[in-house]
Structure 1
Amino acid sequence: MSSATETLCGQAFGAKQYHMMGIYLQRSWIVDFITATIMLPLFFFTTPLLNLLGEQADIAAVAGKISLWCIPFLYNFVFSLTIQMYLQAQLKNLVVGWLSATSFVFHVVLSWIFVYKLEWGIAGALAAMNISSWSAVIGMFVYIFGGWCPNTWKGFTLAAFADMWPVIKLSISSGVMVCLELWYNSILVLLAGYMENATVAISAFSICLNICAWEFMVCLGFLAAACVRVSNELGRGNAKAAKFAMKVILSTSIAIGVFFWILCLIFGRKISYLFTNEEEVADAVSDLSVLLAFSILLNSIYPVLSGVAVGAGLQGTVAIVNICCYYVIGIPLGVVLAYVAHLEVKGLWIGMLCGVLTQSLVLLYITWKTDWEGQVLKYGSEGVEDELDEVSLGFSESGLRANLASLSL
């Protein structure tokens, strides 16, 4: 849902409506905080829910313990992701990078102390994750409240509570878009738990997904770059620059993806030993290595296209694409190949790969066919200014009242 912040702040920054960025950030905090609170029962009742779904009892029990430790991490996302989008939209990426790097080092040190020295196990690892992640959020708060964003942060204001619907609507479509992608992998892991040798299947699947996630972090940077550049240029009213940015970012991302694709093909089996010493799991990972390599290659394409969509505010369209590609094509095909054709984990992965491939092709077509000149007319500097004025500067009665009552705390 935080990608709504990226869209709104990016276009506001491009249109030089800097004062709106802080208001959008606060509105996103409100929407995300309420959403996170609504989701809390899922974390408290993870074990009985997984048991109800027929998951193995030992896996469900461990998942229930882990889920409770994830609650602080859930609320960390409310602030960390929205602030990150807010800072990136105004090209303050270096600040985010330094804070993330510091948090990462802090996380490694705490994990070593809690897990290996104090022998706290999973609880220690999760405690280290929570402490280090919140340290980054505190650093972001200090940066914003300390006066390093003078043009975009004017303090807390009651205007953040006015005209929430545009932010709610975009946040919901953004949340659906991203969650459909993240839940896709989670559902496949859940399905792997129903196989005969579920422990090996889940271990191999999780290792491959972790490898994908490592490489995806690089591509995620290109997603953010595509979103920021496209939203900024649309805000400025420059369609030509927006299209040029797409081409440069996509070609660069694909070049890096090809490099990792080759590495994965060469070292497919050896990669598994970074995670496990069990030969049975390593064999399962090796069996998936070719499919993993092509998943990594696709990782360099669809995130950039998703970033372009976020920058243009097309999250609703991408959400529909994700439903069709992942849940109409990918998961059903994976289930058939895994349980009917008896390909097991490999069948699930083939289904996942087909879903991602279809999504990438559809997003390429949408990007190619989009009228970017029309998008400029919709989100260009004059259009954004009119829209932002209507949303928050008082053309609506509620907005007028809120702005007259706004207070810097």
Structure 2
Amino acid sequence: MAPATGTEAVGAGRRKNWRDEFGNLWRIAGPVILTEIFQFLIGFVTAAFVGHIGKVELAAVSVVNGVVEGPAFGLLLGMGSALETLCGQAVGAGQLRMLGVYMQQSWVIYLATSLALLPLYLLASPILRLLRQSAAISEVAGLYARWCVPQLFAYAVNFPIQKFYQAQSRVWVMTGISAAVLAAHALLNWLVVAMLRHGIVGTALVGDVSWWLLNAAQFAYLVGGSFPEAWSGFSRKTFVSLGGFTKLSIASAVMLCLEMWYYTAVLILVGCLKNPEIQVGAISIWLVRRC
């Protein structure tokens, strides 16, 4: 066999580099994708069990997910892009100690944002009626939204931890925890909703427990000594330069919010149609498949 020419050797080297980079990318991206799927399925499982309670309840949960939780979830998730950028810069500069500080700053900003969003949950019923939604759906949705308030603050804690883990390629830990919580969530829904028949309030409470269980497991791993260089406990530096961090977070959130608020507008418009219980339930199923 003739020896490879210089051009062939360069081409083979490039193909090998491409395969190596592709493999490295999916070793990180694959678990992150699975984590997002598992956490998305928490809401999907909730909707599946609510669908067996009644059409009004399913429509109410769909409206809360799209009109109340959707904007809040999108805002907080979008703000996480700022933390992702700062964490990437800290890792590139070898300043791993700043990862813990950035995460704590995000907790402060996210929790403050959650407090600002709290009236959206507490006043869900009058807001939905103002948007010309069905009175029956609005009443049940308001009840469900009030019981889902702990989930709002759970999102504020969860997103920064995820970015902290991703910056250090500890993605399989997140995936394993999310999978275990999803299984526990399905089991709790079966017990509380299907067997004990606690209805719409039971589904909300199970969601609260599941999201805070996710946070507890991730935080336990965080403080368990697995990040000696990046986590040294709570720091006073958290409250330094919060203004700049907040501006960056808000700018990052706008991009994602514009996309997610489109689905919010669709649900509001569908809720104004005839027989909204059936229409909203149907569109919610489509949106789940779309996501």
* TM-score between the two structures when normalised by the length of structure 1: 0.51
In the alignment of these two chains, the number of paired residues is 213
Map 1:109-124; keep pairs closer than 5 Å.
Answer: 109-124=187-202
Shift of 1:99: 0.8
The runs of 5 or more residues in structure 1 that have no matched partner are 214-409
Shift of 1:35: 0.6
Map 1:9-408; keep pairs closer than 5 Å.
Answer: 9-213=87-291
For the Cα contact (< 8 Å) 1:2–1:32, is it kept in 2? no
Q: What is the aligned counterpart of 1:3 among 68, 78, 81?
A: 81
Shift of 1:10: 2.0
Task: State the SS of the aligned residue for 2:148.
Answer: helix
**After TM superposition, which residue ranges in structure 1, 4 or more long, deviate above 4 angstroms?**
none
Which residue identity lines up with residue 16 of structure 1 in the other structure? G
User: Bigger shift: 108-117 or 121-130?
Assistant: 121-130
Matches of 1:130 and 1:43, distance apart in 2: 14
> Residue 328 of structure 1 aligns with which residue?
none
Task: Spell out, residue by residue over 1:114-142, the C-alpha distance to the aligned partner (whole angstroms, 9 max, x if none).
Answer: 01110012222221111111111001111
Shift of 1:75: 0.3
Which residue identity lines up with residue 197 of structure 1 in the other structure? N
Task: State the SS of the aligned residue for 1:5.
Answer: helix
> Residue 21 of structure 2 aligns with which residue?
none
Which residue identity lines up with residue 24 of structure 1 in the other structure? Y
The runs of 5 or more residues in structure 2 that have no matched partner are 1-78
Task: Spell out, residue by residue over 1:35-86, the C-alpha distance to the aligned partner (whole angstroms, 9 max, x if none).
Answer: 1011111111111111122211011111101111210000001111110111
Question: Per chain length, whose mean CA-contact separation is higher, i.e. which structure has more relative contact order (CA < 8 Å, sep 6+)?
Answer: 2
Shift of 1:200: 2.5
Which residue identity lines up with residue 189 of structure 2 in the other structure? S
Matches of 1:147 and 1:177, distance apart in 2: 36
Matches of 1:190 and 1:157, distance apart in 2: 43
For the Cα contact (< 8 Å) 1:23–1:157, is it kept in 2? yes
Q: What's the % identity of the aligned pairs?
A: 38
Task: Spell out, residue by residue over 1:349-408, the C-alpha distance to the aligned partner (whole angstroms, 9 max, x if none).
Answer: xxxxxxxxxxxxxxxxxxxxxxxxxxxxxxxxxxxxxxxxxxxxxxxxxxxxxxxxxxxx
For the Cα contact (< 8 Å) 1:13–1:89, is it kept in 2? yes
For the Cα contact (< 8 Å) 2:131–2:268, is it kept in 1? no
For the Cα contact (< 8 Å) 1:5–1:82, is it kept in 2? yes
> Residue 320 of structure 1 aligns with which residue?
none
Matches of 1:150 and 1:209, distance apart in 2: 42
Which residue identity lines up with residue 50 of structure 1 in the other structure? L
Task: Spell out, residue by residue over 1:222-270, the C-alpha distance to the aligned partner (whole angstroms, 9 max, x if none).
Answer: xxxxxxxxxxxxxxxxxxxxxxxxxxxxxxxxxxxxxxxxxxxxxxxxx
Matches of 2:118 and 2:243, distance apart in 1: 23
For the Cα contact (< 8 Å) 2:148–2:207, is it kept in 1? no
For the Cα contact (< 8 Å) 1:10–1:90, is it kept in 2? no
Which residue identity lines up with residue 195 of structure 1 in the other structure? L
Shift of 1:14: 2.3
Shift of 1:97: 0.6
